[in-house]
Structure 1
Amino acid sequence: MTDTPATPVRTLPPPTAQAERLIELGLHTHAGTPADEVRSFAGRLPTGGDTLLAVHPDRLPASVLAPLIRHAGKPGFVVTDMADVDRFTPYRVDLPDAALYAVTGIDRGDHLANWSPEEALPALDGEGRTPLLLTEGIHWVLQQPAILERNRCFMTIGSRLRKPKGTYDARTPAIWISNGTGRDGKERRDAPKIGWCWWGNRHTWLGFASATGRTVRPA
């Protein structure tokens, strides 16, 4: 493990362009939010390059978003043993009660590669950062496909599956690039993959995506 600073992300498209991307894909309709409302909200967001426009997961779940992301011209997919992907809900995250919100200060968390989720979460807390939800991570790849790179992918530990007795499933969502092996199928080689890793395991090629905060009150 290392304490080197987080790697800055490449500049995200302006929020207004992000809004048009969502509208172009018809996601505003799925979320039940008028296009003009999406444009108006985005138009008030800062344009510094590390602000992500997000739709609440209750309005736009991971299963809807996943097939829309692309890598090497191939669509994203959810692994077969994560059919319950939409049951992964916010974990230790204060999520705005609004259809649209902004995720600020977004970072891929390369400096935490080879940490386990169990180790990374308190480290992010200590940095004053909040882990991304799975849906936020998918939004990020949707708006900035180049952020997903081989050997530089990321986990989204702001989402976990709560069991009936109050404990949590040991699976932790992550987004990476398929090698086309096993149940993925050869045709999915290089496709963006929504999968999972164990809460206590380390992976050298997975960082921990995080942000400085979330807001529904743009400046």
Structure 2
Amino acid sequence: MTPADLMQEFDRQTAVLIDRGYPQHSGLDDAAFRALLTPLAEKVVTFQVSAGDMEIGTLPFAIAVKSDLVATDVQMAAVSKDGRQGISKLYPRSASDFHVTADTVLPHGLAYLIVDIDRGQQNRNLPPNEALILIKREARLALTIEEGIAIATQCPDFLRKNNCYSLLVSRHAGDQRVPAIWINAAKQPNLGWCWDGNPHTWLGSASCASRTD
């Protein structure tokens, strides 16, 4: 993608977040929210990435927003695919119970970029624990809940029937549950969980090449 293409995509993603109410949920007006994202635009134009492919399951980048700024449940409720709103069903846990694993380093900013995203088609039907080994072996980074929501918010068509994704580095201490986003029976984007040792033919494990703010 050219710098102009990347900037156009960044502006589109910014507009999506504003349209979904992120400024109001973060206690900012639209101008202040845009100002928060402005430093990211300077990074975007330097990326050497392809345009992405929805069928294969790749994207150039996505703007991720931390739950410190907009609560995870609020972010998931702002996801919309084919007119259906996203829902969270993590019982007996809640989204706030899941935290980034100790070996995962996030940028300091409240909003940041995940770059060169892969849905995990090559690791579909692998238990999350095994998929994580492959992702690390390839020097890639497994994703958090908020990063997975960012993808679904910006590119809802990235969610495909029988081809969705787990988010391996948001975990609850001592728990084998792994959060994932998929399309449920009601055709809604659904944030739920699966066991870390169980394979699913309809779930890969998503990753990115880098994070930056």
Q: Does 1:60 align with 2:70?
A: yes
**Equivalent pairs: percent with the same residue?**
32
Unaligned stretches of 5+ residues in structure 2 = 1-5, 52-59
Say whether the 8 Å CA contact 2:40–2:112 is kept in structure 1: no
The Cα RMSD (Å) is 1.9
Distance 1:175 1:64 in 2: 15
Deviation at 1:161, TM superposition (A): 0.9
Q: Does 1:212 align with 2:209?
A: yes
Further displaced range: 58-67 or 100-109: 58-67
Unaligned stretches of 5+ residues in structure 1 = 1-10, 163-167, 180-188
Per-residue Cα deviation, 1:104-147 (whole angstroms, up to 9, x for no partner): 11110110001111111111000000111111111111100100
Provide TM-score, normalisation by structure 2: 0.83
Q: Does 1:177 align with 2:172?
A: no
1:122 to 133, 150, 156: 133
Q: Which residue of 1 aligns with 2:164?
A: 153
Residue correspondences, number: 191
Deviation at 1:85, TM superposition (A): 1.3
Distance 1:59 1:130 in 2: 22
Deviation at 1:26, TM superposition (A): 2.3
Q: Which residue of 2 aligns with 1:30?
A: 25
- Runs (4+) of structure 1 exceeding 4 A deviation are none
Deviation at 1:81, TM superposition (A): 1.3
Deviation at 1:80, TM superposition (A): 5.7
Distance 2:22 2:166 in 1: 24
Say if 1:38 and 1:21 are closer, same or farther in 2 by CA, change over 3 A.
Answer: farther
Q: Which residue of 2 aligns with 1:100?
A: 111
Q: Which residue of 1 aligns with 2:197?
A: 200
Provide TM-score, normalisation by structure 1: 0.81
1:106 alignment partner, SS class: strand
